[in-house]
Amino acid sequence: MRNDPVMNPEMSSSSPGVCRCACKAAPHDPGRRQTLAGALAVLVPATALGQAGTRKPEPGDRLTFQADDRQGQPLKLADLVVGAAPTMAYPVDPTSGKALVSRANLLTVTRIAPDALKPTSAKNAADGVVAFSALCTHAGCPVTSLHPSKTQLVCNCHGSVFDACDRGTVINGPATRRLAMLPLALKDGVLTIAGRFDGPIGPPT
């Protein structure tokens, strides 16, 4: 299926002050600002990707909502709808029951029709649900939006677009590196982690 290209973020010389980034291609969503604001609230300087003592996601960790009135509750398959905006999540240590809150552990989770997934993403998905590091590989902004194609993730800061159906590969820059993907599984309807990130997270250093 052909997806129309999304403009890279830049200012049009013919229309000064008009942004042509990918966020302009998405339909108006009153909740998108809240989602972005919630993700931005956890950001720290790029030199401090994780909090002291906070480990990385490990197999067996379950997922929990990052924000809103469900913060801390288990993220279940039933909570996610195909084509809906991504859900921001954190892994939870099964021993302590505490969310592993750090910038490096912030995840963007979305559900896609399973038959739309390519093998590169399907092997890491749980009934169409895929999870990626939420850190854009351009400048570390949170990737919080879904492209109108319903299969691509968008960073609203600078307009980078990533293919959720193909292991987070870059569709449009300025990002040049794909998003790291986190394998998922289902346990009693709750989304759990089945492996480690399959690549580096955040911007190149």
* 186 CA to centre of own chain: 19
Q: pTM of the full predicted structure?
A: 0.75
| Both structure tokens of 105 | 């552990």
pLDDT of residue 30: 37
Question: CA-to-CA distance for 17 and 127, rounded, in angstroms?
Answer: 43
pLDDT at 135 over 90: yes
Question: CA-to-CA distance for 130 and 111, rounded, in angstroms?
Answer: 6
Amino acid at 128: G
Phi/psi at 55 (nearest 5 deg)?
-80, 170
pLDDT of residue 151: 94
- pLDDT band at residue 69 using 50, 70 and 90 as cut-offs: confident
Q: What is the DSSP string of 88-101?
A: EEEEE-TTT--B--
> Average of pLDDT values for 1-23?
37
- pLDDT band at residue 45 using 50, 70 and 90 as cut-offs: very low
Measuring CA to CA, which residue among 174, 181, 172, 173 is closest to residue 200? 181
Give the end-to-end CA distance of the chain in Å, rounded to a whole number: 35
- pLDDT band at residue 54 using 50, 70 and 90 as cut-offs: confident
| pLDDT tens-digit map of 136-151 | 999 999 999 999 999 9
Amino acid at 164: A
Secondary structure of 113-138 in HEC code, one letter for each residue: CHHHCCHHHHCCCECCEEEEECECCC
